Structure 1
Amino acid sequence: MNISIIGTGYVGLVTGACFAHRDNHVICVDNDEKKIDNLKKGILPIYEPGLEELVEINHKNKRLMFTIDIIEALHNSDICFIAVGTPMDEDGSADLKYVLSVAKTIGQNMKKHMYIVDKSTVPVGTADMVRKVIQDELNKRKSDISFEVISNPEFLKEGTAIEDFMKPDRVVVGTDNEASKEVMRNLYAPFIKNDGDFITMDIRSAEMTKYAANAMLATKISFINEIANICEVVGADVNKVRRGIGSDKRIGYSFINPGCGYGGSCFPKDVKALIKTSKENKYIPNILEAVEKVNNAQKYVLVKKVLKRFGHDLKGRIFAVWGLAFKPGTDDIREASSITIISELINRGAKIRAYDPKANSNAKNYFLKDKENIEFVNSKYTALWESDALILITEWKEFQSPDFEEISKRLKGKIIFDGRNIYDHMIIKDCGFEYFQIGVAE
């Protein structure tokens, strides 16, 4: 099939590369000329395992093309995916200006029947707005070209996005049109093992499904963190509690890892947007508001532990930080717990020596104004040198089985604050460390 994808961010680039890898002809469009030039050279704007290789091979075989010319892309495609950003507005709602701008351009330039697919995460009712904008532009042109608007939310996890796309748990398609349903079924046929994994529904339900999925996962994270905080005050161990409840098949182990809060481009933004949508429709989403409140507070838990141990004046203190990305497998620091934690420590006079396998560059750009107080190093052990304590924030694999003797040699103080509970506290204490976890009484 001939496909255009407007937006070469995380979703658009992964979607384009994966469709191209199944012998579709894909044109990815972006208005950032430098980004497009880099993509043509094989330089990607994001880190995602396996994506660079996928882009390279499909671009080389001319199945995947990059351009700033949206008109050319529209004229050479039958299906157009809108995959531009929907950043959070000041009031918490999703900002649709980029989505609607693309819709306007489509209406002004389409020459034949097209299927317009909303791939961006958008509030319920967005497809209706996209349809109206396109139709208004066609009316101005006095054109009777037909088109269909489809909702096809993405369920990609950063760090495993290629696998998620190639072997999806499910593909959700929202459409009121049988022809659209069959077009999408044929497009996704190479990726789907079972017919039941291709789920069709009305457009508004499809739009809601994306928000509901992310809100549910965010709820699980905030729930286990709430339980962790209760464990600390009553003298229980959340690591044991997690095993006790996760073994229940109705609950499972996914997304019940205690930690220092969720981040990224999806959960925080989507929870806020769903809260906003609810209130606009005069419904108070009590659970979602609690999820957000718990998560915001959870990002300060490690800071409180550090202050309890070292006092509120941290002048002269140096802390080694392992992990800056909001999760392993990505260089994304958007809404990451590391931002809150590092900022709070610096504000109290501390200096930071930080390391992340992939996110150092993004974090360095974020902390430009604090460059005198934070140093980014190229290895986990370098970060430890003469530091008063180690603070682990992101659970990258290379952090999970470190040489504790080496840590002991390099740290000024044998103190570890573990924001993801990845170590065995008995082993750590046998090595002579003071060890602070989430959800375990000190």
Structure 2
Amino acid sequence: MLQIQVIRDKKDEIINALKKRNIDANSLLNDILSLDEKRRATQTRLDATLAESNTLSKEIGMLFKSGNAQEANALKEKTGSLKEDSKRLGDELNVVAEELQNLLYQIPNIPHESVPAGSTDADNEEIFEEGEIPTLSTDALPHWELAKKYDIIDFELGVKIAGAGFPVYKGKGARLQRALISYFLDKNAEAGYTEMQVPHVVNEASGLGTGQLPDKEGQMYHIGGDDLYLIPTAEVPVTNLFRDEIINEKDFPICYTAYTPCFRREAGSYGAHVRGLNRLHQFDKVEIVRVEHPKNSYKALDGMVEHVKNILRELKLPYRILRLCGGDLGFTSALTFDFEVFSTAQDRWLEISSVSNFEAYQSNRLKLRFKDENGKSQLAHTLNGSSLALPRVLAGILENYQTEDGIEIPKVLVPYCGFNKID
């Protein structure tokens, strides 16, 4: 969420910056500033009324002590009127503050200056590509066919249990999933990330804090009886560990990693491009989250990108990195790099990781602050990245490592899963 003071000071700059997102924010910002003026005016009237009431209360006490009961009782009638005014103004202030908050929730983060303009993912900027795309035989299979051939993932059984998008992993498929999770967590721990185990459900305040709520696209699963939400990513509970906290500047950087299942309704069209593991309602992911000093957050972002690169190099998967354009940028992100692995059997790129800097956008919602060297409270910067999302990594391994007599296992994973081939 943008700070109201920033909107007051830099309204025109924000309007121009949001044009990269193809948003004309002029009218909405005017409404925000108008409501903010009303809020401040109401607060001023309330403060003055409360101050007058307090002054009169002290005066009444002195009058009673001095024996002037008649004059004191006359003033009590006035304080009663002031209390009614205070309650009315307090109610007005709450209504205006809620309206203002709801409008502020509608403004996305300001794109970083390096974000290219554009409307769709076709306008994203490729900035890096690495790895050799393997040459497969003409009868190479996509991963959903390989899964069936080697009986390692059962999509139909998942439909029976829960519905489409909830696969069942079997035998070596389940062991390979577990191997990937352990490998990713170990790599993250080696890089200085502290492993955390967090709840897989969150309350409304947590969803609001990291920007998943309000849920404009209907992506979150809601547990109505308890008013809880299944998490779409570990980013939500991990980042909310710091909600309403003032952290010590000396503790930067704070680096956490967590494995969780992730749940997304993924409303939208379905077709061949989302078959198999390409789009799921439940999937496993290992996440990295950082809380940084604002001066260091973009250096930290570069470090996160290099970290994911190193993992993909060890897996020997061909990949590329995209800088997302304004039209494809997530609502809360200032700058995002997407990693995509090449699926040779599908002849297409599959997104496997997003690494993002949210700057102070989430921190303002979370009230996540630190004390600077002058003792002044400042908003921290938050970052997160997939390290990595399993389904499409697994799809890439199955398809790119397939041979005529089975699926080879990347050497780095063999110690984790205990076998070197699926056959």
- TM-score tier by shorter-chain length is under 0.3
Higher-strand-fraction structure: 2
TM-score by length of 2: 0.26
Could you state the TM-score of these two structures normalised by the residue count of structure 1? 0.25
RCO higher in 1 or 2 (8 Å CA, sep ≥ 6)?
A: 2
